[in-house]
Amino acid sequence: MSSLASRIRVAAVLLPLVIGLVYLGDWWLFGLALVGGLIALHELYTLARELRPLVLAGYIGFVLALLGLELGGLPWMLGGIVATLVFSFVFFGLSDVRPSATASFGATLLGVVWVGAGLGFLLLVRDIPEFGFWAVTAVMFTVFAADTAAFFVGRAIGRHKMAPAISPGKSWEGFVAGLLAAMGASFLILYKDRDEFLTIPETLALGAAVALASVLGDLFESAVKRDLGVKDSGRLLGGHGGMLDRLDSLLWAGPAAYYAILAFGQA
């Protein structure tokens, strides 16, 4: 089976489930974020095993961050992230193994901040009264539109490399196409609420912010994988790679969307 066919089959199975849980929100969406995040975190810690991340501290911190967010909002999510550092130091002190403390703490905290905060901000977007479902839907489909347009346009006419040292396949032509597609997707999905939620210029700005963040998120994961000497974070999702490969853009798009909407006075 080709990589594209595998991607389509996986998306056909998972996309309705994800949209359904986003629609339900609350603890249903929390459960999805918890399971997906733990898998992504496991993949990262497996790839970075030579850095000796304190895996248990990372898992505890991740759960505390998401649980704190669900029960008490953004301040308690930050409390869970801070707790990760505390647990990391405690477990490091109790261990007989003596790896590099800086590398060990850094790898552990990276996972919780990257995966935990990224998913947490998506949950915060979903919590926006009345418009949370459509806002998260707009973020997901904006990222999808940007990725798809950038891929096909980049393959067709891409000549100018965007970040050749990190991801040689990305081009500026693809980026521009992805940016325009993202703005269009955001406009189409949120247009019906233009008089109550975001104005038309704001929906276009949201699409642009999400598109830029999604590219940075993809490049960020590419830089980490290149540093660790791997191509994919796993094979769980077939042609999509691992869970972290599927979430990489969303983990940056979530915070970008939340702060864009906050700047527009709607979060």
Sign of CA dihedral 18, 20, 25, 27: negative
At 1 the pLDDT is 45
At 242 the pLDDT is 87
At 5 the pLDDT is 64
Q: Which residue has 């459509």 as its token pair? A: 134
Residues in the chain: 267
Locate 214 and state its tokens. 């999604």
- Say what the pTM is: 0.92
Long-range contacts made by residues 220-225, C-beta under 8 angstroms, separation at least 24? 220/114, 220/248, 220/252, 221/245, 221/248, 222/163, 222/166, 222/167, 223/166, 224/44, 224/47, 225/47
Q: Which residue has 């947490």 as its token pair? A: 120
CA distance 224 to 210: 21
At 205 the pLDDT is 97
7-52 confidence digits (pLDDT tens): 677 777 788 999 999 999 999 999 999 999 999 999 999 999 999 9
Locate 251 and state its tokens. 């983990």
Residue ranges of the chain with pLDDT lower than 50? 1
